[in-house]
Amino acid sequence: MNCAALPYPGARVPPQARLFDEQRLADVNPARPLAWLTRADARSMPAMEPARLEAFTDGVVAIIITIMVLELRVPHGSSLASLREDVPVLLAYVLSYVNVGIFWNNHHHMLQVTERVDGRVLWANLGLLFWLSLVPFVIRWIDESGFTAFPTAAYGVVLLCAGISYNILQRQIIRVNGRDSRLAVALGADLKGKLSIVLYAAGIGIAFVLSWLSIALYVAVAVLWLVPDKRIESLAKG
């Protein structure tokens, strides 16, 4: 048995839940290249359902948000003036909460139109969670140093890498479910996702010149994703 197919070390899985490799793909349709796997081909191959992946991700995201809350310090005083020292970390917390929420919301909708996952999808999902788990770290750095160049750039690096990881996750899910799957149809050229990555990259560079402008770009990306995106939701309801 291929160890990569096990959901955890030493576990036993039934044959229908085992991961498929390229040889199994060739057995399904030898005349069709792997890159042109369709949804019909994907449905005929054994793979795992996404329910466990979604539950695991929900748990990790909940922990990340909890850690962010614990990073907030209690003001030393009872007046509004006592909050001044904590303004940077409060702003970073609000922006981070929104960003983590956006990733979680999009992840949830994506899995609603995902029929199966495999080992590569699991690892891609872990990559996304890794970068999201670094959000509390950069919040703490901003708390200690304020919105200076390096902490602000580091915040952008985390968001950029999370965005890239999410894009990789999408591609891996499409690979498993087929190029004509509901997710592939909904995403299309995914201009919104590509624009977000460009803005994050721009914010990282600008952080060493104007930190406030860099933060403005990060906020702009968040606002971009706060606008309702009905592409996947409409297909999930259908």
Least confident of 54-58, 73-77, 202-206: 73-77
Between 5 and 180, residue with greater pLDDT: 180
Least confident of 49-53, 65-69, 105-109, 194-198: 49-53
The mean per-residue pLDDT over the stretch 11-24 comes to 44
Give Cβ neighbours of residue 232 (< 8 Å, ≥ 6 apart).
106, 109, 110, 112, 113, 182, 183, 186, 187
Give Cβ neighbours of residue 40 (< 8 Å, ≥ 6 apart).
178
CA torsion sign for 43, 181, 178, 118 is negative
pLDDT of residue 9: 45
In the structure, what pLDDT confidence band is assigned to residue 201 with cuts at 50, 70 and 90? very high
| This model's pTM is above 0.75 | no
pLDDT of residue 103: 92
Q: What angle do CA 6, 12, 17 make, to 5 degrees?
A: 65
pLDDT above 50 for 105: yes
CB-based contact 102:131 (threshold 8 Å): no
Least confident of 164-173, 179-188, 197-206: 179-188
In the structure, what pLDDT confidence band is assigned to residue 229 with cuts at 50, 70 and 90? low
Which residue, 208, 202, 211, 222, is CA-closest to 95? Answer: 222
pLDDT above 60 for 54: yes
Render the burial of 39-57: b for 16+ CB within 10 Å, e for the rest.
bebbeebbbbebeebbeeb
pLDDT above 60 for 153: yes
pLDDT of residue 175: 86
CA distances from 80 to 9, 63, 76, 77, 140 (A): 53, 30, 10, 8, 22
Least confident of 88-92, 118-122, 213-217: 88-92
Domain layout of the chain by residue ranges: 48-74+81-237
Tokens standing for 178? 């087929």
Between 7 and 125, residue with greater pLDDT: 125
Q: What angle do CA 71, 123, 98 make, to 5 degrees?
A: 35
